[in-house]
Amino acid sequence: MSTIIRKLWENISLNRSNSTSTGSNEDKIILTMTSASTGEFDKLPFDIFMQILMMIGPKESGRLCGVCKTWRFMIGGDNKLWIYFLQNHQLDPPDFFAELRLRSGPPLMAIPNMMTELSFMQIYGQRTQVPGAIIIDGGSGYCKYGWSKYASPSGQSATFLEFGNIESPMYSRHRHFFTTIYDRMQVKTFTQPIVLSIPICHHDDTESDRAARRQLKDAIYSALFDLNVPAVCAINQATLALFAARRTSGIVVNIGFHHTSIVPILHGKLMHMVGVEVVGIGALKVTGFLKDQMAKKNIPFQSLYTVRTLKENLCYVALDYEAELSKNTEASFEVAPEGWFTLSKERFQTGEILFQPSLAGLRAMGLHQAVALCIDHCRDAELTEEDSWYKTVVLAGGTACLPGLSERLEKELHGCFPPHLSSGIRVRPPPYGAHSAWFGAKLLSTFPSSWCTTKKQFRPKSRRKLLW
């Protein structure tokens, strides 16, 4: 160790002597301790001392903490040093939101303890021991899955094709589904914990809906534990999408495959007692409306996949629908192997049915009306003294990625309320696009002991109301 440090010091000293820079006051700071000493290293400029620690790496730096209290104070107390190690030694950099708000697990605190100084040396040590997790974002239409150590999901499949016979028992369908995902990932079930998102369903606060939610969650946990998964964390998609947006409270507008859910969440807990609003328009109807528009204009296409690709690449939401009708909005996109497609007004009329369902012959509330109704319910419930928690609206789902949707929804919401109530309402687009729930689960996978349930813990808890 001493030989390595001496050689590094000689090399750095030589470079500094050859430098033409006159140096700054920071370069002249000398490491001095009044009550204790680091021995000969007292003579080193502080910045050189830290450069040496960065070069020898986290493992050797950690060992130096055992030399004496002074070494432990200098190395363990320098957050910048350990942030550098987190960023440069194949570990995810610390997410301050996750460290402050999610590390302790549920129930989440209303106000995190901001006075507690984070020790990034401890965070580094904890993250080196995290085994990683399998993440499955089980949407009602499409399922994304992959490893938490990767930057994005590694695979996607059509959920409704993977559940097997819809008439088979719920437990059997889930077991078949999870077995298929594990087979595709080519991983043994007993090796990693799993963080799973659950589609939003059984929305009401009635006894029958509460029982249905418990039954669904029990079936998921039972199927996974019978496959010998070591630990499971199953949370609804809306909460995970909110976490991905670095929030624990707010309203999530989740545009799912079959319908759109407007979900109030306070401190990470879904507020069923406030009311979840549901609009019967989802991604399937939006894509279907574009398909009908293309058929009316005699634009040939081979599959619904082609229509969905055009929706994702050409369609948008107009800030002012009436003004947009008078503009030239024609644009083209190539879909292999079918060739080029050209759309005009269909580009913004497709997303407009979210605000004007009657354009598609549907009888439903507009998206802005449903969100405004949810805001009214949150305000009337008076769950907290602060009324700002429900003024953050986060979009989620693939169709929610349509350009202009967040701006249009925010504009419409401000028009639904007088200025003193609409002040502060902000609509945020999906923070990670169609994969927002997956990335929210990725945040939780860093703290498996706080969020995951083991098989031994599950049996006593199965009768209790779990976090939704």
Structure confidence by residue, pLDDT tens digits, 172-214: 888 888 998 999 999 999 989 999 998 888 888 889 888 988 8
Q: Each residue of 206-221: pLDDT tens digit?
A: 898 889 888 888 989 9
Q: Which CATH class is domain 255-430?
A: alpha beta
| Domain(s) of CATH 3.90.640.10: residues in the chain | 255-430
Q: 47 to each of 12, 25, 425, how far by Cα in Å?
A: 11, 11, 46
Report the alpha-carbon distance of residue 402 to residue 404 in Å, rounded.
6
Report the alpha-carbon distance of residue 130 to residue 231 in Å, rounded.
13
Contact at 8 Å (CB) between 347 and 331? yes
Backbone phi, psi, residue 192, to 5°? -135, 150
Mean pLDDT of the region 272-300: 95
> What's the helix, strand, coil split of the chain in %, to 5?
50, 15, 35
With cut-offs at 50, 70 and 90, classify the pLDDT of residue 41.
Answer: low
Q: Each residue of 328-361: pLDDT tens digit?
A: 999 999 999 999 999 999 999 999 999 999 999 9
CATH of domain 134-246+435-461: 3.30.420.40
Report the alpha-carbon distance of residue 404 to residue 216 in Å, rounded.
36
| Domain(s) of CATH 3.30.420.40: residues in the chain | 134-246+435-461
Q: Residue 181 is encoded by which pair of tokens?
A: 């995902």
Average pLDDT, rounded, for the chain: 81
Contact at 8 Å (CB) between 467 and 106? yes
Report the alpha-carbon distance of residue 120 to residue 99 in Å, rounded.
10
pTM to 2 decimals?
Answer: 0.80
